[in-house]
Structures are given as structure tokens and as C-alpha cells.
Structure 1
């Protein structure tokens, strides 16, 4: 989050020092190139990695790569129409930053089927910083892909090296007195429950808040928490307690291990290293080598019914030899 606000502060300072303010582009687009360092610009087909913050004209945050903890990567597409975001990005190069306002009315006219955004205003506002450009140029596809793979490996190695520091900082900043298990899971029971702990095969009924170590909530099944952030709230989500069997690999390893230390009514904070979460591959909004924090409450424990009938394995029909047909 600090990086996000630091970037916005730099953008604001740059904008204030730019006497010309926004310039008029095609299709009602407005743009202000705050920092222009590159002598070359992005071309269609180039690989681009960028940091970006997307806001409404009313300054409500829609999305931020800084909060997600990783830049956004794309192959620069051909602009769909004059005045869209790709057409603005093609005015920039590596190291450049800009504020771009794309016109919503133009977007709706030029992209049939596009739904009107659920917020008021004339523009969608993008704050972008181009981190890396790998030109396609005349490179063979194999050589081009090798350069992209090398870039991602460098990012991955850096993220992996930073992970222990992120975990320690979160624990220190939040003054958590954690217990660390042999696997690397850090946990603290913030409210003891009652009765026996969950056992493998039990069904846990839980409420949870999932966060990155920068404090950004990426998922929760608690409606009140979700509504605090418009970017994560989904009105179609029923927001009810989650139910799943524990200790049988239905969830990430950090949950399986942590929940077995809890009983009904217990609350706990789990600080989970990526090795016990989504690992070096990541998943969805979770980048590779990302440690996660979960605040969990065990609402109920459902034990398996020992008298339930065991599932019957289907009988396999043995193949029979085909009878030879009688000769006519």
C-alpha cells in the first residue's frame, strides 16, 4: 500500500510541475505524460510490464497492481479504436509514466456489447508506469519468448528472496506473538474455543478474511468486510460460512495444518508462507511466492457419521471371449 501512495504522490508532483496539464487525444481521451525517459515507444506485439492504478473520475480506486504486489504483463495489442488505453500506451516507452483518461461514451460506442461501468463520471482514469519493454522487432518467436522467460525468472527470484522479509515485517508491524511450526506456518490463537480440536476428516464451518502482507483484503466470506472495499465486494456472493473437510487436501496446506490446532469458537491468525499456499505458480490474484494472512473463526465442527454406509465400489464386469460366428 505504501508503494501505491508513493507512486501516486510522484504522479501528483509531476502533474503539478507540468504547466500544460492534460492534452487532448483521439476519441475524447485526455493524457498527461508525467515522466518521459525513453527515446523509443511501445509497438504492437511488444512485451510490456507495467504498474498501474485505475480509478473513477470521482477518485474511487478500482484496481492497483501495487496492492496486488506484482506488475501487470501483456503483449501490446492493436488498439480497438482511437482513444483507448493501448493507443495511449503506444505513446510511452520503458521508464515512462502517465495519467490517461479514457472517455466512457467513446468506449461504449466503439465496443458494441460493452456494459456501462457501474459508477458515475465521464472518464476512467489510469495512472501507469512502464516498468519493462521487450521489443518484438525482428526477433524470432523463440528468441523473443526466451527474453520474456528470463524477465519473469528475474521477477520470480526477487519475489522469492523478499518473502521472508514480508512475513517478518507483517508479524512485527502487527505485534503478533506467533508460534512457528516445523513446516514454516506462523499462527496465533487470538480467542480460544472449547471442546476438542478439529481432526482429519471433520468438516470445518468457518468465517475468514484473506489478506496480503500489505494488509490488502483479497477474499472474505464476511459481507461486512467485503463491503469495506468496493473492488472486492460482489453483490452476487451469498457471503456465508465456508464448509470443507479438514486434513484431506481440500484446501491449501497452511489451512489444513492450522485448522487442526483449533476447536469450536476459536479465532486465529495464520501467516502462511507461499510453500504452504500457492507456491511458485501462484493462482488468480495471488502472485508466485506470495505469503498470505488469514483471520479465521471456527463457527462449528461437523464430525463424520460413523454409522454412515460405506460407499460401494462398482463391480467391474469381466470381459468375455467373443464367440465365433457360425459359418454359413
Structure 2
């Protein structure tokens, strides 16, 4: 959990606006507490649930836990250097909100940010939602409370998912069709010819995003370049080819692609049970619905004259692990 916390500390730069209303601490740290609730301040070793919005000098949002649909849940580490954002977190208690600005020079001096990183501040808008204080609790009791916290937070996300999907559809005025599995789809451009079949391969351009709008992946170079931090110069941006109906992609894609014919464009709104479920994946939190804009460029049919693969020796079936 500490790595995730420190990753956020090097993920973005802060506002370039004036520092009016801010107090100054060691290492050039600036902080402005907007809500100051009663209660003990957070201590290193405590566990916190907090929402974060991170912006750069151009006021562009680089990280937003609200858009991701999941707060940051982490153990609070010891500060690693003077002016560390952790020092600002330790000034807060449950229910507090604040803006914390970390001086870039202090972060560079502590080797917690690349030397060529541009900007004057790392800035966080923080809302402390919940604190599990370690205090004098035994490790066993403390870990039990942390485990229960994770269960509670994930249960909240699972319960909220249908509402998030409906809000996305309403906000974007999408008249989507819902399949029996729970996939929502809208055909935005009709193609021609027969629909793709299970034995076929799809050649697809796509853009994937969270329902908050943040794009996490795309096969289209121009889209990647237009979204800061997404473009990878080493990646060959082009349509991908995938086998359909064989489980090589998430279930929402397997089902959705079979609704299309060549030339079709569609929007898939995919619930987590047809995507990455309770585990999540990379930038996709647990129980998070995702959206894909897809274009079926081509359908590749299997070659009936292709040589059959050599038969492999039959192996005993693996027995399922006992529970």
C-alpha cells in the first residue's frame, strides 16, 4: 500500500496559482485546511480512506479518485523527506479536507521525483473519508479492522455500480440496449454484411475509458496523443486482431463484438462482472463499469484449407483444487 501512496506523490504537479490562504511547513510544504473536524490527527501506521484530486501547473486533472469510482485506501507511511505530502496528511483527521502543495525542489532533493520533472508544486486536494487508527491495538485486531474496512468499501462499490451505469447512460443521452448478461450497447454506425461469428477474428479499433471519462487505453494514435500520459512512442498504434468467442478478451467484448458486422461502430458499457470484476486491473478499480468505443474494421474468416495442427498427446484432466 505504501508504494501506491508514494506513486501518487510523483504522479502530478500542482497549481500555479497564488498561495493565498496557505500555511507553510518544513521543506516548503504548503497546506490549507478547508474542513477541520473534531478528532485525533492521523498518525503514521494508521489506515485511511481518502479521495484525491491531483492537478498540474496548467490546472489539468492528472488523477481523480472520484472519476475512478474508488477512494485511495492505504496505510500511512512515515514521511520520507522534509515537505513530503505525508506531512500534510498527518495534519488531518477523519472528515477533514485540505489542499496540500509539495515543493518540487524538496521532492527532487529527496529523490522522490525525476530530476527533469517540470513545475513548481505537487498539489493534492484531499478529503479524509475514514481513519482506522493503530493506536494501542494489537496487530491482530488492527488487521481485522482493516480487512473489514476493505469489505465495506468494496461492498459499497458493488452496490453503487448499477446507479453509475444508469447515470452514465442518462448524462450521455445513450439509448442503449441491454442484453441478458447485462451488457449495454449502442450501434452508432451500421455496418454491412453478416455479423461476426465465433470462428472468426475481429480487426478492431477501440478506445477504453472509465465512466468518469478518463481514457485508459486506445489503439488510435491521435487519441493517445491527445490524452496526457497515455501516449507510448514505442507502441505501434493500429487496429488489433482478436479471436472472437474463445475467451481471449473480457466477456463484454466477446459478446459485444458478435453483435456487429463489418464497418460497424458501437459503444459498449460493460459492467464489472463482464470486465474485471472484484479484482480490477491496472487503472480500473474493483467493481468498476467501463466504456469502449469500438469500430469493427474487418472480419477475418478461418481458412478451411489450412493444415490441421498435429494432435497432442492426451493428458489426464487436472482435478480442481480442494477448497
| Alignment match, 2:75 | 75
Structure 1 partner of 2:29: 29
Shift of 1:251: 0.6
Which residue matches 1:180? Answer: 178
Q: How does 1:27-106 map to 2 (within 5 A)?
A: 27-106=27-106
Task: Give the SS at the match of 1:293.
Answer: strand
C-alpha contact 1:102 1:123 (8 A) present in aligned 2? yes
TM superposition score normalised by structure 2: 0.85
Counterpart mapping for 1:142-181 below 5 A? 142-181=140-179
Deviation at 1:281, TM superposition (A): 2.0
Q: CA deviation at 1:162?
A: 1.7
Tell me, what secondary structure is at the counterpart of 1:206? Answer: strand
Q: 1:193 to 1:107 in 2, by over 3 A?
A: same
- Whether contact under 8 Å (1:46, 1:135) holds in the other structure is yes
Supply the distance in 1 between the matched residues of 2:131 and 2:72 (Cα, whole angstroms). 12
Match of 1:101, SS? strand
Greater shift in the superposed pair: 53-62 or 83-92? 53-62
2 CA distance for matches of 1:118 and 1:303? Answer: 49
Unaligned runs of 5+ in 2: 1-17, 315-323
Q: CA contact under 8 A between 1:29 and 1:101: conserved in structure 2?
A: yes
The alpha-carbon deviation at position 91 of structure 1 amounts to 1.3
Pairing 1:128-147 to 2, within 5 Å after superposition = 128-147=126-145
- Can you give the 5+ residue segments of structure 1 that lack an aligned partner in the other structure? 1-15, 317-328
Normalised TM-score (structure 1): 0.84
Alignment of 1:190-229 (within 5 A): 190-229=188-227
Give the Cα separation in 2 of the matches to 1:310 and 1:139.
Answer: 64
Q: Distance in 1 between matches of 2:105 and 2:94?
A: 30
Question: Could you tell me which residue of structure 2 aligns to residue 270 of structure 1?
Answer: 268
Over 3 Å counting, the alpha-carbon distance change for 1:214 and 1:142 in structure 2 is same
Q: CA RMSD in A?
A: 2.4
Shift of 1:70: 1.0
Paired residue for 2:3?
none
**CA-CA distance at 1:177 after TM superposition:** 2.5
SS of equivalent residue, structure 2 residue 248: coil
Distance 2:306 2:270 in 1: 35
Residues 38, 92 of structure 1: 8 Å contact kept? no
**Structure 2 residue corresponding to 1:279, chosen from 274, 277, 280:** 277
Q: Cα gap change, 1:185/1:101 in structure 2, threshold over 3 Å: closer, same or farther?
A: same
Does structure 2 conserve the Cα–Cα contact (< 8 Å) formed by 1:63 and 1:231?
no
Query: 2:68, 2:212 within 8 Å by CA — same for their partners in 1?
Result: no
Instruction: Give the direction of change, closer, same or farther, for the CA distance of 1:30–1:82 in structure 2 (3 Å limit).
Output: same
- CA shift, 1:117, in A, is 5.4
| Aligned-pair CA distance for 1:20 | 7.0
Most deviating of 239-248 and 253-262: 239-248
Aligned length: 300
* Higher alpha-carbon Rg: 1
Does structure 1 retain, via aligned residues, the 8 Å contact 2:198–2:245? yes
* The 10-residue stretch of structure 1 (214-223 or 37-46) with the greater mean CA deviation from structure 2: 214-223
SS in 2 for 1:53: strand
Contact conserved, 2:266 with 2:295, CA < 8 A, in 1? yes
